[in-house]
Amino acid sequence: MQQLFKKTLRQIDAYDTVHTTRSVTGGDINEAYYVQSKNREFFVKLNRSVDPAFFNFEKRGLEKIGNTGTLHVPEVYGVYTDEQENIPMLWMEWIAGEKKESTEDWLGERLAAMHRTEGKAFGLDEKSFIGKLEQDNQLVDNWVSYYRDYRLRGQLKIGVNRKTIKGKRKEMLMALMEQMDRWIPEAPTPSLLHGDLWGGNWMIGKEGNPYLIDPSILYGDHELDIAFTELFGGFSQRFYDSYTSVFPLSDTYNDKKELYQLYYLLVHLNMFGESYGSSVDRILKRYTD
């Protein structure tokens, strides 16, 4: 592995050399490494079973978030593919820091500020990924249409193919999609969203600053991001208080929260299997009974 990293580092900086490498935790689907060179420290993700487009989408998402000037993201040095072994790699800045009392206040306030970054329409103008699942996208004027047709219907197609969505579950999901406009607004503010904001996708950097990592960006209702933060936890009440002081939640948030969480549960069902099935079924039953 060290030889692979040495070859790639020469493309980033021809005069730099690799001193140390070690495997580190980097999520469920990628291999991840700490690489220390003469001049810098890197975080490298690689995956032997994906197209480089997988990492290029992550790179563009990090850059778009960084360009808002609201939240920190790791500096991205590039996506590289070793020609001999055909392994795509994403090279980024290594982030390490110590949490401060105000870190989660900053996270809430700055995420709200990022959500104030508006797009011209809902969705995205390119193919995206959530985990390793590909998602078709389009920019549309109606949020209900985008969320139903590109997010829920996209997972339905994957689930039918993988046989994770069938029978009564499939019937309920299809029935729910036909009446989404009862709960989901057609024209909220099209906010720039992280798109995969669970507790493992933010970290602490220098001076206690929060950093966002592993985005799956889109433009949509800001409450989609917030709903996902509540699904698996990892965010304090200070985070929510700070967020809502800048960007309040709607009076209907609790009515639609589980509909937004449904998308992420379908993703997990399609990626990891039936352990998420009961949660999916409970939400479908709530909204279709």
Here the tokens at position 238 are 């200070």
Q: For residue 75, how many other CB atoms are within 10 A of its CB?
A: 15
Give phi and psi for 32, each to the nearest 5. -135, 145
d(CA 43, CA 91): 6
Here the tokens at position 189 are 């503010």
Catalytic residue among 196, 214, 221, 225: 196
Q: By the 8 A CB rule, do 33 and 44 touch?
A: yes
235 alpha carbon, distance to own chain's centre: 16
Dihedral sign (CA 187, 190, 193, 195): positive
d(CA 277, CA 190): 30
DSSP-derived 3-state class of residue 50: coil
d(CA 109, CA 105): 6
CA angle 94, 98, 101 (to 5 degrees): 140
Q: Does residue 196 have an active-site annotation?
A: yes
d(CA 185, CA 188): 6
69 alpha carbon, distance to own chain's centre: 19
Strand order in the sheet with 18-23: 18-23, 31-37, 41-46, 87-93, 76-82
Helices (H) and strands (E) in the chain — how many of each? 10, 13
d(CA 97, CA 152): 37
* Catalytically active residues, by annotation: 196
